[in-house]
Every structure is written in structure tokens, then in C-alpha cells.
Amino acid sequence: MIRLLNYLITRKIATSKALFAPLGDGVRGLPMLTGESISEAEAVELAEGCPAGAIRVLEKEDGRQVLEMDRGACTTCGFCLDVYPTAAIKSDPNTMIATRKRDQLISSVALNDTSLDTASGVAGDTACKTASGVKTDTAGGVHEFFEAADNLPQDAIESDLARENLISKIFGRSIAIRVVSTGCSSCDLEIGAAGNPIFDMERFGMHVVASPRFADVLLVTGPVPKAMHEPLRLCYEAMSEPRLVVAVGSCAISGGVLKDSYAQANGVGAVLPVDVFIPGCPPHPWSIIDGIAMAMGRKRQGRLK
């Protein structure tokens, strides 16, 4: 706090000029696989210690055993990073970690093998974002209006770039956001922080509105327990087309630690089609802005356009 006040007094401006700055030293980011090999004993220990079930040891169809990591389920507890560190996993300082598809958050590495499992299409964050294909969207997040864009040839609609151009054309450089919280509210605090003078998401045309009637984007936090299924559907139906859904945080993506519990809290994807996934527990304000920019079609090769 003292450092922040000192910064404000000396610089006289709070708003960060460095967009999407990586996390500083000593700040724990989401874990990511490094590509280093890992023994079966180590992998089993990690899988048993992960409280969120984000690390698993699986056997592939070809008989290979792999360690699989689901960044969409990770609660950043630190077990695999700090308590049981291994060369196979490191903290990811990147804040641009949103993805369009759920399976882009899942990566795996073969046990006792130095090559990453390319079948999953994921080898850390950069490669995550190159895996694409609108028709393979496992969350069913491709909305009717994209497919109804009859002014584009079918093969163009299927490319991510054309899809982003289309979204960008529809929404322009400004978007209205309705936030629905169904969880512990730590993600809500970070959404609030994304609007403070330091991150200032309003400067990117991202405006939070009070009613779904005015909203283009539904930003959902929390694991979406059964009691929130119907209210969330009603909120979505109150929005006019075209409308987008963004899942913020591990709970909204996968249900987090409540996944498959009696509360039937398995994330937004169990109730609505999701267009963008922002992992983290909670995500950094830059990651939230990154995900909304992705939903707006304003992301181009890691930069805002």
C-alpha cells in the first residue's frame, strides 16, 4: 500500500501504461507444464495431492501413461508449485491466459518422456491459443448469429480470424457487461479491480451495466450451483442477440472444488454456451480484461487492436 501511494504521489497518474504486464517476482501464477519429464511416482503424488482434481494420471488409448493438468480446474493452491515442486511444472507469469475453448486449458505430458503430448494440442499458453476450430467447440459456444452470417463463405466463418472480425464488426469497440456472481466473490473483487484507476477497463470500451437488457456479455463467476441454474438462464434470455457468455475463474469454468457435488455446481458450461474461458482462482484483472477483449474480437496476436 505504501509503495502504491508513493507511486501515485510521485507519478501523479495511477493508470497502468503497460498493458497485460506479466506477474511480478514472488507472485504465484497458474501452474503450467514445462515439458520436462516426470516419473510415475512423482506424477501419482502430485495427482493425489491436488485438492481440486486438476492433476490426473491417465492412460491413453495407445497405452501410454500421461500426467494431465486442467488449468480450468486449478485453484492455485500451490501444492504442485511450492509444497511439492517439480521441474515438470512451473508458475506461469503470463496474464493473457483466456481461451476460446475449454479443452485449450488442458495439457498433458507423457510419463518418463520429454515430449509434450501434442495430441492434446497444448504445450503451455502460447500453443494453447493456436489450437482452434470453431466446429470443435466442446462447450457449444458458437452462437446462432455466427452461423447465420451469410455474407461470409462457410470456410471463412470457420476460421477464428473471421469469427473475431465478425464479433468485432457487431460490437465495435465498446461492449456492455452484466456480471452474475454465483460463488465466493473473490473473482468479483478482481472484476471490481479491473475497473479501478490502475487497470481501468472502461478505457477499452468495457462497461458494466445494471441490467441484462442492456448487456452484450454475461460475465459469470462462481460454480453455478443448482439454485442458480434457472436465474442464470432467465438472465441470459433477457439479453438480446447477439449475446456472449464469459466464464471467469476456475469455479465458473469447471465447478472448482464443488464439481460433481450435491449442489450440481459444474460451472457455466453445464447451463449456457460459453464463448470465452478465463482461468485463475481468482484471475488477475489483466486476465479478465484479456478475456473480455477476446470476447469483443479485439485480440490480435497477443495485442489489443
Compute the C-alpha angle 236/273/139, nearest 5°: 165
Which residue among 32, 38, 52, 176 contacts ligand SF4 (CB under 6 A)? 52
Note whether 199 and 286 are within 8 A (CB): yes
Interatomic CA distance for residues 244 and 292, integer angstroms: 10
Task: Using alpha carbons, select from 302, 263, 277 the residue that is nearest to residue 130.
Answer: 302
Pick 69 or 175: Cβ nearer ligand SF4: 69
Least distance to ligand SF4, CB of residue 33, Å: 10
Q: What is the DSSP string of 48-63?
A: HH-TTS-EEEEE-TTS
Q: How far is the CB of 98 from ligand SF4 (least distance, A)?
A: 18
Q: Is 107 in the site for ligand SF4 (CB under 6 A)?
A: no
Taking the complex as a whole, the smallest distance from the CB of residue 91 to ligand SF4 amounts, in Å, to: 9
Binding residue count for ligand SF4, defined by CB under 6 A:
14
88 binds ligand SF4 (CB under 6 A): no
CB of 279 to ligand SF4, least distance (A): 10
Please report how many Cα atoms fall inside a 13 Å half-sphere around the Cα of residue 252, on the Cβ side.
34
From the CB of 76, what's the least distance to ligand SF4, in Å?
Answer: 5
The yes or no reply on residue 256 touching ligand SF4 (CB under 6 A) is no
* Residue 197 is a binding residue for ligand SF4 (CB under 6 A): no
267 binds ligand SF4 (CB under 6 A): no
Say if residues 253 and 73 touch (Cβ distance below 8 Å).
yes
- Residue 66 has φ and ψ, to the nearest 5°, of -130, 155
- Tell me 204's DSSP state: G
Q: Within positions 6 to 35, which residues make up the interface with ligand SF4, using CB under 6 A?
A: 31
In the complex with ligand SF4, the residue whose CB is nearer, 68 or 158, is 68
Determine if 268 is a binding residue for ligand SF4 (CB under 6 A). Answer: no
Q: Is 55 in the site for ligand SF4 (CB under 6 A)?
A: yes
Binding status of residue 47 toward ligand SF4 by CB under 6 A: no
Collapsed DSSP state (helix, strand, coil) of residue 35: coil
Region near ligand SF4 per CB under 6 A, out of 48-56, 57-65, 124-132, 294-302: 48-56
Establish if 254 lies at the interface with ligand SF4 (CB under 6 A).
Answer: no
Q: Are 114 and 37 in contact (CB under 8 A)?
A: yes
Residues 201-240, mask of contacts with ligand SF4 (x by CB under 6 A): ----------------------------------------
The radius of gyration computed from the CA coordinates of the chain, to the nearest angstrom, equals 19
DSSP state of 82: I
Question: Looking at the chain, which runs of residues are DSSP E strands?
Answer: 30-33, 55-59, 65-70, 89-92, 106-110, 175-181, 206-208, 217-221, 244-248, 276-278, 299-300, 303-304
CB of 50 to ligand SF4, least distance (A): 3
Q: Say whether residue 78 binds ligand SF4 (CB under 6 A).
A: yes
Q: Does 54 bind ligand SF4 (CB under 6 A)?
A: yes
Which residues are within 8 A (CB) of 168 and not within 5 positions of it... i.e. 6 or more apart? 296, 297, 298, 305
Q: Which residue has the cell 495407445?
A: 62
Binders of ligand SF4 among residues 58 to 77 (CB under 6 A) are 74-77
* Smallest distance from ligand SF4 to CB 123, Å: 17
Residues that bind ligand SF4 (CB under 6 A): 31, 50-52, 54-55, 74-81
